[in-house]
Amino acid sequence: MSNGGVFHIVFHEPRIPGNTGAAIRLAACTGATLHLIKPLGFDFSDAHLKRAGLDYHDLADLVIHDDIDAMFAALAPKRVWAFSGKSERSFADISYDEGDVLLFGCEPSGLPDSVLTDDRLAGIVRIPMQPGRRSLNLANSASIAVYEAWRQHDFAGGV
């Protein structure tokens, strides 16, 4: 059950257990809530998931949704920012509100067009990188984004 952490990190249909494990640790360390949208490409007994972050599972707030509509319903009316290389708008140009949702696609394809065209999104943003590169690692992208949003709030609750 979500405790309404400062920010919400959402992985849409994640495939790589190590990335989700790292995101569990990220959520625990930042006070964010991690949301996973089914189907998941692994189960929670996966050794890579455990090694990457499940030792933090008692410290992290994790919510699993059956589909994207369930996620939107659970988090309404919060703003949902989709992260995609298909956008020209930098994630750093956003003034994040407490409780904003940071939505990321699966590895390796990112968010599908059906999500990127959803009118419930506040907007689509990208994390800048060098030209000709396909993408950052999913857990790294989530870390960059949640720390920028949290920084804008003076790392409230952090030490």
Q: Distances in Å between the alpha carbon of 75 and those of 26, 60, 82, 101, 140?
A: 20, 18, 14, 8, 23
Contact 56, 26 (CB under 8 A): no
Find out whether 135 is annotated in a ligand binding site. yes
Is residue 62 helix, strand or coil? Answer: strand
Contact 149, 158 (CB under 8 A): no
Whether residue 127 is annotated as binding a ligand: the answer is yes
Could you give the CA distance from residue 155 to residue 6 in angstroms, rounded to a whole number?
10
According to the annotation, is 64 in a ligand binding site?
A: no
Q: Which residues are annotated as a binding site?
A: 105, 127, 135
Q: Which residues are annotated as a binding site for S-adenosyl-L-methionine?
A: 105, 127, 135
